[in-house]
A and B are shown apart, each in its own frame.
Chain A
């Protein structure tokens, strides 16, 4: 076997001699300015591109469930959503920040680039039941999130309160800048919800929604099959 030559450092360079006086030289730091930051009067701002909360462009999202498959913590659940009485054509990811590891692989794999992230990162609550529900959400549009982030710049969650009506399945996001954002959650999973799962949709709308569903089912089914095979 070939002999490997290491450039070995001379022992005199590595070894240090003990000294009784030298430690006292550190007293000079008594007269220097401390590096400590006085929180909460001062704060560090996150760097540009810090991996924080997600954003989602609902128009771009095609509901391919790539984000759900790559997620190491399985924090993403596909959700069927109805906005203003009209069902979205594709399911959208719902992110549970209790599980999320903020690796942002979901953002990296998103084929249409619908998922994104902003620098806001404060994942804290005062441990109220209401607040605990906050961190399981379908992300909002990046422009809206960035607007809220710019106005407050305290890197907190943009939603103050999430109200979920169990009977009508209506969800209301009360944003921090006073806006309200309403939609309905019809069901979960990559397949579209069955008709009984959406009692509020009228018969006429159902007939309209049906041809759309047929086109949708094609890809989600493929996804489901491959998942079983895995």
Chain B
């Protein structure tokens, strides 16, 4: 809201600098978003002059010597001038000897290169009327010669554009802001006095301007007042009012409309003036809008209304969207002579709804939406009537039409010093508390309890809708007492039995691990395009991941994977001439399984091969087994027990290259990991060349939060191992894991219980010479070890032979 210092001065003696006021407003909770200086400072001996002649200066090329008339009576003076933008006959501001211009610039009679100058002709900047210093300020309106310049320009004003928080609708008015500043500066506040006494006005013999006011929707309009004024003369409002309205950002219209707007900005109560002659059927009805009802609002737009909006209608048509905006049908215009003035209280929720539905925010709806002073209607109406009578004439006629009562909003709050201290953490002395209550116009009465402790009963005025509970008063006390008085204190930390959320721990560990492995962390948006989710994930899932109200079409869906974002990052970098090799991201993804949606924590990474020419020695290029190794480490960091779980090939997932990608587990069970090559056709869609390897884990937060029990100690053998190698010839499509499982079973079968096979691992895969087409040889190392003695060759050989017999019996062929 724009607040004018000149306007505030009508209620408080606000003789403070711009900086002081700005700081005060800021520190009591009204952030100043802008300050604008308008008008002219008070300037003595600066008057309107006319340039009569202009001759070149005899001694200076850039100067001219002018004859300037500054008074009808006196002889013209001589002024030396450097400007070029004027012509003979122009009227300009002239600072005469003795004048002091802004910036303490004293004007004296002086010689300029040998020519005496009696004063100075001024630019806009020299008068602080703007930044223009290109030339003289030409007064195009040609005010009379000799007029003091302050009569030509409005007086100095400072306009503060303040943010009023939604809880303080009472400060959407100059009186409201004046009240706050009065409290802060310790000034007394003078409310505008009203003179009109509607009940005293005598009835007359003319037909009544209005016969009836009906409220059909008292729940939305609990209180309505209408005053009749006869015989106004419409014209422009006086200069002082136009200036104040303009300062506050309003366009002057005519004296009656300006008067209602003035009161709106003065007291915060929206009013509406009807042209009485345009009210048909002699009555006003406050009713619910009909479905499809049309109205052309004052901004010249056709609006189609629906319930439950409220309208003010006459016998035939609606004239005003209640609390929002009037129609052109009942507008006050040059021909208006009789008025009906409305002052009402509308419920905020209804106005808010209407205003939002119509996307129409007016000064009136803005205030009603936030809540106006329910008890302030009469005062505001009388204030407006005073002003209308003063500036437009007219006579108040008869008692007002009053329907309903203002809702009961006053209340009392009890609060004591102990409560205040318990919330603030420091003492504010009782007299300061009293001062705050008084300064804010809260009716505080000091009371004493039986135990001698004191407290206040604080009456809350109807305009303070935000004060309901003792804690609300604590805020008021601190606000006015000053947040700068909060004492500096040391941090006190009570120890609490709590731990970081395991999801955060996992996120942190993963990021540190990957960045330590030369990965660069990326952060991409969570929202992706429909097309991508469709192609990358699945058509069915795409529909369930769609946002109801996306803002941009390429951000319409929740991401099911971090990988597409990383592919974007890869492409973005390559297009910029960067060559990232390893990227990763952590974050949440959303996935669908059997009609159920899951939010999962995910870590994903990409590895690409660097171009052959970029290094002076060759480095290992990424392959499945490197990616799988990183993925396994990520699972370990998440305490996912998967060391013994083999990867299984991923089949028919569009995003992965079949035969070159594999997965572990399923996230519905807690965690899942994938590793492999990005599908080549998919890469083409990204316009990415070469191959891209990716790995990821999905983790259910609940899985991470499962308490991990402390791992107990298992004793380790103190005796040496004996290892034996064994090669088996199998079909090409047999997975190593399958064979390993068979070997482990064979080892179990062969075990005598005296000692175990400690580990079985693949150490060689061979194809080619010596083996038939379609076959491969898998070589395993079996390690035997006992917990309690050194094994002898004889017993190990016996066990090894038993295992060989057993595996052959399973149908495997030993490689000779």
Asked if A and B are interacting partners, one says no
A residues within 8 Å of B by Cβ?
A: none
